A and B are shown apart, each in its own frame.
Chain A
Amino acid sequence: MSKHRHEPSASGAPDDAARPSYGVPEQRSTAPYAGPGQEPSPITWGREQQPDWVRDGLQGPAPAQGAAYGTQTDWTQQQPPPHQGWTQQQPQQEAWDHQVPFPAPPSGPEEPAPAEAEPAKKRPVRDRYLDLLRAVALFRVVLLHTFGWWWLPLVFPSMGVMFALAGSLMARSLSRPALGVIRGRMRRLLPPVWLLALAVVPLGLMYGWDPGEDGGFSGWLSMLNFVVPAGAPPFPEEAAFPSGLLESSWLQNGVETLWYLRTYLWLVVLSPLLLPLFRRFPVPTMVAPLIIVAVMMEGWVSLPGELGNSVFDTSVYAACWMLGFAHNDGMLQRVPRYILVSGAAFAMAGALWWYTREVGFGESIEAAPLANAVWSLGAVAILLTYSPSWEKLPGRLAAWDKLVTLANNRAVTIYLWHNLAIEVALALLNQVWDWPILYDAFGHDLSASFTDTYQIWVFVLTWPLVFGAIACFGWVEDIAAKRKPRLWPDGSKKSKDPKDSKDPKDPKGANRTKQRKSGAHSR
């Protein structure tokens, strides 16, 4: 054997040579499922049912086997929380609040009893993997609405991912009383919707939109959905815009994405019921919405109008929402990985087959809702099962850190305003047709190439507009979350505001300040 070079771990764990001496057994956690990076007990198989010969041969607990990937020494002492990724009990308001990852003082997270025994606690941080997923999902949504490629929902099921992540956060928040959680969610969600409504509805009403046109009074009643989207907010197919700047479909495009919020609110309201049901009977509860979808698609049961739409959409994505529950509870790590991934692969293969039968390649899978639901379920299951719980984006991904943070902090804003940004981009680009230079740039007619690359230009121009929307309208999110409004929350400014890290029992940060003084500085 040649002079063997020890192979370091995949994510930079300290070299084995640096291990402490083996005479000292370290405390091993007795949690039923370890958090991220936790080294498993070496004698883990059938531990409770070890045959006598193994048990008798052992003398006390074996020494801890040292760190696995990416663990720092402290973590072996830290009591892992009962789920991975989000290592701090925090309400959903922190979900979109980027916490300062490292320099903040160790504060006591509100965690069950064993946590108190531990000495030096590292400050828990966001799971950047989930943040990255959310950012990619948003990006893909904008891609789809710009280019309309049919294969995009197949390649990355954004909606499924977003609902799953939201479900995970919801499950975590539900450790507090349900009513308060629902109220909190609505409080965070509705003001940005109101802002959008304030911007577009009066314009629409002034320029040709008559909600009472088809439905009379019920048409006007459905306008209430702009206040609380119990149903998808309505929109006209055509509406003029002052000076004809935007196309007549601008209002439709701007508002039609709001179905997501309606579905989201329905799922939020249903979560206090779903969560305990899911914890008792995980598989039937997850399969039930899919059955509802199948039943409604076959037409055996049909509900009229917006109610039917709401129930349908909610059922399509409820399974992904419940995957979020499972992720939060650490259920996904308890199922042997090969079963989960193989099962998900089978489900996805089945969904693909169903999709080719119902719709076929060339059209988006969203046209076959059952296939879409199962495909999203399988894909999200695989994504979450491999969830590596990063503290920071590793390697080459670290370059995207700011954008990912920005996307997460302004996810609602991006989602609400991107379609309008696309419309405005289209309108602006329409002006280019009048430029003479397009037709005679040094003797070349560029109009044909401009037509060919038109969508790319729209895509390129959309992003500055989206960033503009973030700057102009994003502050509403902060206000809704009872935070100091920020203009550009990409995590580059490390805020010293004690309110930045919310403690549900201590919203004003009074206790936190005390802890900070006693903990880190220990004077």
Chain B
Amino acid sequence: MTPRTSGAVRRRRVPLRYLLPLLFLVALLAMLMLRGYTHSEILADHRVRPPAATDQVPHRVLGGGPVIDARKDSITTRQVPRKKLVLTFDDGPDPTWTPKVLDVLKEHDAQAVFFVAGTMASRHPDLVQRMVDEGHEIGLHTFNHPDLSYQSKSRIDWELSQNQLTLAGSAGIRTTLFRPPYSSFNDAFDNQSWPVTEYIGSRGYITVVNNNDSEDWKRPGVDAIIKKATPKGGKGAIVLMHDSGGDRSQTVAALDRFIPELQAKGYDFTHLTGALDVQSAHIEVTGLDLWKGKAFVYAVQASEHVTSVLVAGLAVIGVLVIGRFGLMLVLSVVHARRTRRRDFRWGPPVLEPVSVLVPAYNEAKCIENTVRSLVSSDHPIEVIVIDDGSTDGTARLVESLRLPGVRVVRQHNAGKPAALNRGVANARHDLIVMMDGDTVFEPSTVRELVQPFGDPRVGAVAGNAKVGNKDSLIGAWQHIEYVMGFNLDRRMYDLLRCMPTIPGAVGAFRRSALERVGGMSDDTLAEDTDITMALHRDGWRVVYAENARAWTEAPETVQQLWSQRYRWSYGTMQAMWKHKRAIIERGPSGRFGRVGLPLVSLFMVLAPLLAPLIDVFLLYGLIFGPTERTIIAWLGVLAIQAVCAAYAFRLDREKMRHLISLPLQQILYRQLMYVVLLQSWITAMTGGRLRWQKLRRTGVVGSAPGIPAQPHGGDRRPVG
């Protein structure tokens, strides 16, 4: 087994840096699921049983009173006494209508019974507390409002206990009153629903149905509601009303008339146990049960808040993504138009010779291709290969080639920035091109790269790095990323004058500019970003030369890719932190600090951090939510990206073939990238520091193709 890239002894546990991001994402998903549960999106059962035969229901129940006590073997029913009216409200509490109902009841000094649904109660515990405080009675109405005749006994227990939990957390009480969902009058009990009531009675609850159904949920008008609710001839009654589930304005208005009317007739509006003159149905909850209830209610509240934060985050990332696409497209068009105009010149043509620095550490496999490609350049150059203490004979290999114009400088292993600085010191010319030991240039690359120096304000030029090994899956993904992400980005940043990074594989610098900013430093892991930001702060312009193509070998295995991106993202954060003073400085440095740094942090740090939200919501929507609409939305975003990518490919004159791997990239590759970023964030914040990891070379990139790459017969057995 190979050791892990962290270099430590192989551990059997999952390291923290993989575990934390994973746990974080799982927690987000769990919060979403809890919210879905309390909004009846998950585990909700909306079936309603059609009426059935009634031969198995005891006659005593069918013809008896609406309060059914099935707790003992002998079933008794009770009727509400004359001149007492018990108002009952189902499915509450609702944040809009329940307060109004409570106000009306308070105004008329009436009390009622509220059969609360657990989902609503958990979301509005304060209303439940208010109900208890104002003297009303609370009963259970299950958690999710399913038709209990369809549910198993364990599900019924679950519904009831969850409901009790919510009550305990909201108001610190338990109750013994229960009203089944979709219940009606006594004679509505049938062979399917009666056993449920029997079972619930055996659990210690009193089932309460009603005498009068106001049917207020149909919104028939205030008069109709009052007519249906009024009992005939002074009889006592339990009246069914709703304080939730839609527009209850008619209910509130009806109550306002109904209560004083009947009170004038001598009716007493009281709660159930008061009307029946028995002990209160509320039992106080203390100790562990109370804390469990409070914890549950708290978790529900948290999930609501978290969800709104997540939704806001999703909106932000949506805006960022679309904004970025828009900016990229628009600015790329502008950039392309400008630089491709026939009469466009940076300045006078640059003909002076150029020094090309090739820092190499153990690049024996590729260095020959690199150097030979340089030697074939059509611009006068000198090539300096700086061997950074290689152990595989890189320096000897280059020397044995005996190519004209190629020098080898050796040093002890000191790192790439030191190698580059040494190269600059040894270079004879004033224009310096920096590349990597595994990059292959085309003959015109150097020339194209240095033309912008005809403009004296230009201090550095970024070239067009391309992926050479784009036939494997990971290679194709990176190819798309380079063409769409990096190169399109570079055009945008060129115009905005805040290019954050010159690719280490192909970049050119003016010696004077380098000397002014002090050369390359190894303060950060991404010295290319560092030097670019320093140049901006010094007032130089950094531009993008799209025709200066260089072919580089992208990492082929997930491990190497991870290392590379981790280094890049961590290095970028380090560089941004190093140059943070630019925000408050004046002049060109301030301009960069106030425009460039925020843009970079927005698009390169914040956007990738928020990107997981897209996947969390996608997953939630696929499994729990509206599956079809989620898929269509995702396909829509994919279409936008495909259009953008197609445009980028056209602009770069690449074949569109590789776009076929775009959908898979959105499913697999993007996730990898943001996990890497999350991980680098965690490392940044915990102060850890990772080692430089070397890209494993396989020597596949042999030459810049004059003709598009043929599918080659070798295979390297990579992962992707």
A residues touching B (Cβ–Cβ < 8 Å)? 1-12, 16-17, 19, 21-23, 31-34, 36-51, 53-54, 57-58, 62, 65-66, 68-70, 333-339, 341-343, 345-346, 349, 386, 388-389, 395
Interface segment out of the listed B193-201, B312-320, B699-707: B699-707
Which residue of B1, B475, B713 has the most chain A CB atoms within 10 A of its CB atom? Answer: B713
Q: Is residue B376 contacting chain A, with contact meaning CB distance below 8 A?
A: yes
| Cβ–Cβ < 8 Å partners of B11 in chain A | none
Q: Nearest residue in B to A63 (C-beta to C-beta)?
A: B368
CB distance from B457 to the nearest CB of A (A): 33
Q: Nearest residue in B to A55 (C-beta to C-beta)?
A: B703
Q: Are B702 and A45 in contact (CB under 8 A)?
A: yes
Q: Are B715 and A333 in contact (CB under 8 A)?
A: yes
Q: Is residue B286 contacting chain A, with contact meaning CB distance below 8 A?
A: no
Q: Are B711 and A335 in contact (CB under 8 A)?
A: yes
CA distance A336 to B559 in the complex (A): 21
Which residue of A6, A19, A54, A338 has the most chain B CB atoms within 10 A of its CB atom? Answer: A338
| Cβ–Cβ < 8 Å partners of B714 in chain A | 33-34, 38-41, 44
Q: Are A16 and B372 in contact (CB under 8 A)?
A: no
Q: Are A50 and B703 in contact (CB under 8 A)?
A: yes
Q: Are A338 and B715 in contact (CB under 8 A)?
A: no
Check A47/B698 contact, CB under 8 A, given A4-B413, A62-B368, A336-B471: no
Interface segment out of the listed B53-61, B92-100, B385-393: B385-393
Q: Are B716 and A68 in contact (CB under 8 A)?
A: yes
CA distance A4 to B705 in the complex (A): 32
Q: Are A46 and B711 in contact (CB under 8 A)?
A: no
CA distance A5 to B3 in the complex (A): 12
Majority secondary structure, B binding face:
loop
CA distance A106 to B119 in the complex (A): 74
CA distance A170 to B322 in the complex (A): 53
CB distance from A195 to the nearest CB of B (A): 41
Q: Mark B688-720, 1 if CB is under 8 A from A, else 0.
A: 000111101011111111111111111111011
Q: Are B392 and A68 in contact (CB under 8 A)?
A: no
Q: Are B663 and A338 in contact (CB under 8 A)?
A: no
Q: List 26 A-B contacts (CB under 8 A).
A: A1-B417, A5-B691, A9-B696, A17-B391, A19-B364, A32-B713, A40-B700, A40-B713, A42-B702, A44-B714, A45-B701, A50-B703, A50-B706, A57-B376, A69-B717, A336-B711, A337-B476, A338-B470, A338-B660, A338-B661, A339-B657, A341-B661, A342-B663, A343-B660, A349-B663, A388-B717
Question: Which of chain B's residues 321-369 have a Cβ closer than 8 Å to chain A?
Answer: 361-362, 364-366, 368-369
Q: Mark B434-468, 1 if CB is under 8 A from A, else 0.
A: 00000000010000000000000000000000001
Known pairs A34-B715, A42-B369. 10 more at Cβ < 8 A?
A1-B413, A5-B7, A7-B5, A7-B694, A31-B713, A33-B714, A42-B366, A54-B703, A57-B376, A337-B476
Q: Is residue B658 contacting chain A, with contact meaning CB distance below 8 A?
A: yes
CA distance A336 to B476 in the complex (A): 10
| Cβ–Cβ < 8 Å partners of A7 in chain B | 5, 560, 693-694, 696
Check A22/B397 contact, CB under 8 A, given A44-B714, A337-B472, A338-B470: yes
Q: Nearest residue in A to B704 (C-beta to C-beta)?
A: A54
Check A40/B694 contact, CB under 8 A, given A57-B375, A65-B699, A342-B663: no
Q: Are B660 and A334 in contact (CB under 8 A)?
A: no
Task: Determine which of A11, A66, A334, A335 lies in contact with B2 in the assembled complex, contact meaning CB atoms within 8 Å.
Answer: A11
CA distance A49 to B660 in the complex (A): 26
Q: Are A49 and B702 in contact (CB under 8 A)?
A: no
Q: Are B716 and A69 in contact (CB under 8 A)?
A: yes
Q: Are B703 and A43 in contact (CB under 8 A)?
A: yes
Q: Is residue B84 contacting chain A, with contact meaning CB distance below 8 A?
A: no
3 shortest interchain CB distances as A-B pairs: A40-B714, A1-B415, A338-B476
A-B contact count (CB 8 A): 193
Sort chain B's interface into a size bin. 35 or more
CB distance from A65 to the nearest CB of B (A): 4
Q: Are B717 and A334 in contact (CB under 8 A)?
A: no
Q: Is residue B400 contacting chain A, with contact meaning CB distance below 8 A?
A: yes
Q: Nearest residue in A to B715 (C-beta to C-beta)?
A: A333
| Cβ–Cβ < 8 Å partners of B3 in chain A | 8
CA distance A341 to B415 in the complex (A): 38
Check A19/B661 contact, CB under 8 A, given A57-B372, A388-B717: no
Q: Is residue B187 contacting chain A, with contact meaning CB distance below 8 A?
A: no
| Cβ–Cβ < 8 Å partners of A33 in chain B | 713-715
CB distance from A310 to the nearest CB of B (A): 36
| Cβ–Cβ < 8 Å partners of A49 in chain B | 706-707, 710
| Cβ–Cβ < 8 Å partners of B393 in chain A | 19, 21-22
CA distance A337 to B397 in the complex (A): 33
CB distance from B178 to the nearest CB of A (A): 28
Task: Determine which of B368, B471, B694 lies in contact with A4 in the assembled complex, contact meaning CB atoms within 8 Å.
Answer: B694
CB distance from A152 to the nearest CB of B (A): 20
| Cβ–Cβ < 8 Å partners of A57 in chain B | 372-373, 375-376
| Cβ–Cβ < 8 Å partners of B699 in chain A | 39-40, 42, 65-66
Q: Are B710 and A53 in contact (CB under 8 A)?
A: no
Q: Nearest residue in A to B689 (C-beta to C-beta)?
A: A2
Q: Are A12 and B2 in contact (CB under 8 A)?
A: yes
CA distance A57 to B378 in the complex (A): 13
Check A345/B698 contact, CB under 8 A, given A51-B706, A57-B376: no
Task: Determine which of B372, B388, B706 lies in contact with A46 in the assembled complex, contact meaning CB atoms within 8 Å.
Answer: B706
Q: Nearest residue in B to A71 (C-beta to C-beta)?
A: B717
Check A10/B557 contact, CB under 8 A, given A16-B364, A19-B392, A42-B700: yes
Q: Nearest residue in B to A330 (C-beta to C-beta)?
A: B713
CB distance from B416 to the nearest CB of A (A): 6
| Cβ–Cβ < 8 Å partners of A12 in chain B | 2
Q: Is residue B619 contacting chain A, with contact meaning CB distance below 8 A?
A: no
CB distance from A384 to the nearest CB of B (A): 13
| Cβ–Cβ < 8 Å partners of A66 in chain B | 365, 699
CB distance from A39 to the nearest CB of B (A): 7
CA distance A46 to B362 in the complex (A): 27
Q: Is residue B30 contacting chain A, with contact meaning CB distance below 8 A?
A: no
CA distance A337 to B392 in the complex (A): 31
CA distance A10 to B698 in the complex (A): 12
Q: Is residue B522 contacting chain A, with contact meaning CB distance below 8 A?
A: yes
Q: Are B372 and A4 in contact (CB under 8 A)?
A: no
Q: Are A42 and B715 in contact (CB under 8 A)?
A: no
| Cβ–Cβ < 8 Å partners of A53 in chain B | 376, 443
Task: Determine which of A17, A22, A44 lies in contact with B702 in the assembled complex, contact meaning CB atoms within 8 Å.
Answer: A44
Task: Determine which of B698, B707, B711, B717 lies in contact with A65 in the assembled complex, contact meaning CB atoms within 8 Å.
Answer: B698
| Cβ–Cβ < 8 Å partners of B703 in chain A | 43, 45-46, 50, 54
Q: Is residue B9 contacting chain A, with contact meaning CB distance below 8 A?
A: no
CA distance A22 to B395 in the complex (A): 11
CB distance from B380 to the nearest CB of A (A): 16
| Cβ–Cβ < 8 Å partners of A334 in chain B | 711, 713
| Cβ–Cβ < 8 Å partners of B701 in chain A | 45
| Cβ–Cβ < 8 Å partners of B691 in chain A | 2, 4-5
Q: Are A65 and B365 in contact (CB under 8 A)?
A: yes
Q: Are A9 and B397 in contact (CB under 8 A)?
A: no
CA distance A128 to B252 in the complex (A): 76
Q: Is residue B616 contacting chain A, with contact meaning CB distance below 8 A?
A: no
| Cβ–Cβ < 8 Å partners of A338 in chain B | 470-473, 475-477, 658, 660-661
Task: Determine which of B361, B560, B712 lies in contact with A44 in the assembled complex, contact meaning CB atoms within 8 Å.
Answer: B712
CA distance A403 to B678 in the complex (A): 41
| Cβ–Cβ < 8 Å partners of B278 in chain A | none
Q: Are B698 and A68 in contact (CB under 8 A)?
A: yes
CA distance A49 to B712 in the complex (A): 13
CA distance A338 to B661 in the complex (A): 6
Check A36/B717 contact, CB under 8 A, given A12-B2, A19-B392: yes
CA distance A65 to B663 in the complex (A): 35
CA distance A341 to B658 in the complex (A): 12
CA distance A54 to B443 in the complex (A): 9
| Cβ–Cβ < 8 Å partners of A34 in chain B | 713-715
CB distance from A82 to the nearest CB of B (A): 11
Q: Are A6 and B715 in contact (CB under 8 A)?
A: no
CB distance from A488 to the nearest CB of B (A): 30
| Cβ–Cβ < 8 Å partners of B704 in chain A | 54
